[in-house]
């Protein structure tokens, strides 16, 4: 039994993934032929029509009806029998999850039919537990007494020093050690309660929760601290002053721009807010809930345009994921982390070290490979042809029946044209040598660069035929809002997010969890 991180559920390691094989990654152009029936998804219509004209492709997820109060949305979208409804229910759920993650040994198998993945329709919870249960000292004390008090959160992450060959390799070794073993010990603190609430609201069962999931959610929330401090506290004071009005919307606009959401995405959000206040007066709680829905809908929009919601390597088939992006954004580190996500989720992996330009890149990726016990295919010669490395790696992957080949690429060459030509060549080789493979071309973006990084990124989209984005370094930046700009401006889904330099600091992206972390109390 392994915890499949891509699907966020436990599954039998050797069971062929029938569902995956029948739902290959769908490109936007492939979605054009879908029927009108397919494109009409209940629940998403109001926001989609008024805010984002959705032309094609269904969503796998029912977006909560924005007019409904949060509690109603929660009831509609989550498992009615098991999703907590009150602060007490959430607390009971959190306690059960706490006991479950403390129990060393095999987790319970999920029910085959209803084990919800992370992408199942999320409920609007509005921090019921944090606001209500935490406000009750008795409830909290009781919970804390039952909890084993052992610290779990990692240390603050130091800002990255300028990369040098030896430092990068050393960093890959030492930092991996620090975070490669998530502790099974949790503290039932505010972070745990918040994480439990987020998972419960998505219809999960307490006994299905893994320690790593809780650890990750706490990390994500902590990573977004700076953005939240800049954005949310002010947002709350604007929204909390009274019903949403024009003055408040103007202030929200400024705050969104400050968080690097970008002009285009901000305009759409502000327009939707203005439309809303023309229709009805929203009290503060509902205004925040409405804003959350808007942000989620924006982040989920690529799924309405043909991209599948959950990016999972197809079992028993070759998947090739190409990682591209300008230098220093975190491609090599991301490959290391992705290798760990994939191997611990039960997939066989191989790495192609096609960044032959930067001296330390091959050594750095080898260290990451060792950590997950994954071989790195490389050519130790100087200035070797990266396309040749990719060719060799595909040959090796095909003969070993590897499921996931991760390709590291250079972020800098003599000039931009050379870099783009090289990427286009690698892409051609992959298509020619492995036409049967499921190919993903992921653009790695450094969140600390905000809108600047986004402008640099646009040149990649043609040469690399991008299919998704990995957003790194969300920890320690106040520009986490750039996630919205990324989706709005590039039209690509965010597939993974990185919130730290350790091996377990990268996970599949969930708009629900991201928005909850961004706007949590
Ligand atoms: N804080 C933080 N640092 C990160 C994260 N991801 C990567 N880094 C750091 O960013 C720096 C650059 O990472 P690399 O993986 O070498 O970047 P790259 O894109 O492969 O660089 P080139 O090979 O020069 O193109 C390293 O110091 C990493 O540790 C993250 O999510 N958070």
Residue 242 confidence class, pLDDT cut points 50, 70, 90: low
Atom of ligand 1 nearest to the CA of 161: 27
pLDDT of residue 465: 86
Helix (H, G, I), strand (E, B) or coil at 468: strand
Q: Which residues fall within 8 angstroms of residue 465, CB to CB, at 6 or more apart?
A: 427, 441
Mean pLDDT of the 185-209 span? 84
CA distance 101 to 488: 37
Kindly write down the DSSP assignment for every residue of 377-406, as one continuous string. E---STT--HHHHHHHHHHHHHHHT-SEEE
Alpha carbon of 56 to ligand 1 centroid (Å)? 36
Residue 79: which pLDDT band, with cuts at 50, 70 and 90?
Answer: very low
User: Predicted confidence band at 19 (pLDDT cuts at 50, 70, 90)?
Assistant: very low
Residue 494's pLDDT is 96
Q: Are 472 and 453 in contact (CB under 8 A)?
A: no
The pLDDT score that the predictor gives to residue 182 is 46
Query: Does 481 sit in the ligand 1 pocket, CB within 6 Å?
Result: no
pLDDT (tens digit per residue) in 484-508 = 999 999 999 999 999 999 998 999 9
> Nearest-CA neighbor of 337 among 486, 118, 448, 500?
500
- Tell me the C-alpha distance between 129 and 94, whole Å: 10
d(CA 248, CA 471): 30
Residues making up the binding site: 325-332, 408-412, 472-475
476 within ligand 1 shell (Cβ under 6 A):
yes
CA distances to 218, 221, 313, 323, 424 from 348, rounded to whole Å, are: 28, 30, 10, 18, 26
Say yes or no to pLDDT of 44 above 50.
no
Give the pair of three-digit tokens for residue 60. 């796998």
**Position with higher pLDDT, 127 vs 331:** 331
130 or 24, greater pLDDT: 130
Q: Whose CA is nearest to atom 9 of ligand 1?
A: 330
Q: How many residues does the chain have?
A: 521
Tell how far the Cα of 330 is from the centroid of ligand 1, in angstroms.
3
What ipTM score was computed for the predicted complex, to two decimals? 0.98
Confidence at 163, pLDDT banded by 50, 70, 90: very low
Give Cα separations from 500 to 157, 199, 505 (angstroms).
7, 21, 5
User: Measured between alpha carbons, how far is 481 from 139 in angstroms, rounded to an integer?
Assistant: 34
From ligand 1's centre to the CA of 198, what distance in Å? 29
Backbone phi, then psi, for 353, in 5-degree steps?
A: -90, 80
**DSSP annotation of 494:** E
Tell whether ligand 1 has an atom less than 6 A from the beta carbon of residue 472.
yes
Confidence of residue 252 (pLDDT cuts 50, 70, 90): confident
> How far is 430 from 14, CA to CA, in rounded Å?
27
Contact 129, 88 (CB under 8 A): no
Q: Which mutation among 159, 176, 330 tests ligand 1's pocket best, with the greatest number of atoms within 8 A of CB?
A: 330
Strand partners, 200: none
Write the pLDDT tens digit of every residue in 132-157.
444 443 433 343 334 333 333 333 33
Is residue 219 lining ligand 1, measured as CB closer than 6 Å? no
**Known binding-site residue numbers for GTP:** 325-332, 408-412, 472-475
CA of 23 to the centre of ligand 1 (A): 32
Beta carbons of 488 and 265 less than 8 angstroms apart:
yes
Which pLDDT score, from 0 to 100, does residue 185 have?
Answer: 58
Torsion of CA 261, 478, 156, 176, to 10 degrees: 40
Q: In angstroms, what is the span from residue 127 Cα to ligand 1's centroid? A: 33
pLDDT at 38: 35
Asked if the model's pLDDT at residue 78 lies above 80, the reply is no
Average pLDDT over residues 115-123: 39
Q: Token digits for 118? A: 């992370």
Atom of ligand 1 nearest to the CA of 361: 23
Which of the pair, 350 or 99, is modelled with greater confidence? 350
Region of residue 373 (left: phi > 0; alpha: psi -120 to 50; beta: else): left
Query: Does the predicted model carry a pTM greater than 0.80?
Result: no
Condensed to tens digits (0 to 9), the pLDDT of residues 281-310 reads: 777 778 888 889 999 999 999 999 889 988
User: 92 — phi, psi (to 5°)?
Assistant: -60, -40
Q: Which of 160, 386, 457 to mutate to test the pocket of ligand 1 (most atoms within 8 A of CB)?
A: 160
- pLDDT given for residue 382 in this prediction: 67
Tens-place pLDDT, residues 343-401:
999 999 999 999 888 778 889 999 999 999 999 999 877 678 899 999 999 999 999 99
Spatial separation of the C-alpha atoms in residues 470 and 487, rounded to whole Å: 11
Report whether residue 480 contacts ligand 1, using a CB cutoff of 6 Å. Answer: no
Sign of CA dihedral 271, 272, 277, 282: negative
- Taking only the tens place, the pLDDT of each residue in 207-226 is 888 888 888 899 898 888 88
* Position with higher pLDDT, 189 vs 48: 189
- For ligand 1, the distance from its centroid to the CA atom of residue 151, given in whole angstroms, is 27
Q: Check if the beta carbon of residue 438 is closer than 8 Å to that of residue 314.
A: yes
Cβ neighbours of residue 92 closer than 8 Å, sequence gap 6 or more = 84
**Mean pLDDT, all residues of the chain:** 73
**182 φ, ψ (degrees, to nearest 5):** -60, 140
Per-residue confidence (pLDDT) for residue 392, from 0 to 100 = 95
Closest CA to 407 of 481, 351, 337: 351
Closest approach atom of ligand 1 to CA 327: 25
Q: How many percent of the chain have pLDDT more than 70?
A: 66
Whole-Å CA distances, 342 to 346, 348, 503 = 6, 7, 12
- Is any atom of ligand 1 closer than 6 Å to the C-beta of 500? yes
Of all protein residues, the one whose alpha carbon is nearest to atom 29 of ligand 1 is 501
User: Please, are residues 477 and 462 in contact by the beta-carbon 8 Å criterion?
Assistant: no
Q: Residue 57: is its pLDDT beyond 60?
A: no
Pull the structure tokens for residue 473: 């370094």
Q: Among positive and negative, which fits the CA dihedral 229, 231, 234, 237?
A: negative
Judged by average pLDDT, the poorest of 63-67, 171-175, 514-518 is 63-67
The mean-pLDDT minimum among 70-84, 237-251, 394-408, 452-466 falls in 70-84
* Ligand 1 geometric centre to CA of 473 (Å): 8
Q: What is d(CA 484, CA 226) in angstroms, rounded to the nearest whole number?
A: 16
Count of beta carbons in the 10 Å neighbourhood of residue 152: 17
Q: Which residue has the tokens 């606009």?
A: 253
Q: Backbone phi, then psi, for 179, in 5-degree steps?
A: -125, 10
């Amino acid at each position: 039994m392994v915890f499949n991180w891509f699907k966020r559920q436990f599954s039998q390691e050797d069971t062929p993934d029938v569902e995956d094989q029948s739902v290959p990654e769908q490109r936007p152009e492939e979605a054009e032929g879908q029927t009108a029936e397919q494109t009409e998804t209940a629940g998403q219509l109001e926001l989609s029509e008024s805010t984002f004209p959705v032309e094609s492709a269904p969503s796998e997820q029912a977006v909560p009806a924005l007019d409904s109060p949060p509690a109603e949305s929660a009831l509609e979208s989550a498992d009615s029998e098991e999703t907590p409804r009150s602060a007490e229910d959430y607390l009971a759920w959190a306690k059960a999850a706490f006991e479950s993650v403390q129990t060393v040994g095999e987790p319970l198998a999920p029910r085959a039919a209803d084990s919800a993945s992370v992408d199942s329709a999320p409920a609007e919870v509005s921090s019921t537990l944090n606001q209500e249960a935490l406000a009750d000292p008795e409830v909290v004390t009781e919970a804390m007494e039952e909890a084993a008090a052992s610290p779990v959160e990692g240390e603050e992450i130091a800002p990255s020093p300028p990369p040098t060959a030896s430092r990068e390799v050393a960093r890959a070794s030492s930092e991996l050690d620090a975070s490669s073993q998530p502790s099974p010990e949790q503290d039932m603190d505010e972070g745990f309660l918040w994480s439990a609430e987020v998972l419960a609201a998505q219809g999960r069962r307490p006994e299905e929760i893994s320690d790593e999931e809780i650890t990750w959610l706490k990390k994500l929330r902590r990573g977004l601290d700076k953005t939240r401090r800049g954005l949310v506290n002010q947002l709350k004071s604007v929204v909390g002053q009274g019903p949403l009005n024009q003055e408040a919307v103007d202030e929200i606009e400024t705050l969104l721009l400050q968080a690097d959401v970008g002009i285009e995405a901000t305009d759409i959000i502000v327009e939707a807010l203005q439309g809303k206040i023309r229709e009805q007066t929203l009290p503060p709680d509902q205004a925040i809930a409405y804003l959350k829905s808007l942000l989620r809908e924006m982040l989920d929009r690529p799924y309405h345009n043909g991209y599948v919601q959950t990016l999972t390597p197809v079992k028993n088939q070759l998947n090739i994921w190409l990682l591209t992006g300008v230098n220093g954004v975190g491609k090599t580190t991301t490959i290391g982390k992705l290798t760990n996500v994939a191997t611990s989720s039960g997939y066989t992996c191989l790495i192609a070290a096609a960044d032959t330009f930067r001296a330390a890149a091959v050594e750095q990726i080898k260290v990451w490979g060792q950590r997950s016990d994954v071989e790195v295919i490389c050519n130790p010669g100087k200035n070797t042809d990266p396309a040749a490395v990719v060719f060799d790696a595909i040959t090796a992957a095909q003969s070993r029946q590897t499921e996931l080949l991760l390709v590291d690429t250079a972020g800098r060459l003599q000039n931009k044209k050379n870099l783009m030509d090289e990427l286009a060549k690698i892409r051609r080789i992959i298509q020619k040598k492995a036409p049967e493979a499921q190919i993903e071309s992921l653009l790695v973006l450094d969140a600390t660069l905000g809108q600047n990084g986004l402008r640099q990124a646009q040149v990649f989209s043609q040469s690399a035929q991008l299919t998704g984005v990995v957003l790194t370094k969300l920890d320690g930046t106040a520009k986490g809002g750039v996630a919205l700009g990324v989706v709005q401006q590039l039209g690509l889904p965010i597939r993974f997010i990185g919130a730290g330099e350790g091996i377990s600091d990268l996970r599949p992206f969930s708009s629900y969890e991201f928005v909850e972390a961004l706007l949590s109390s």
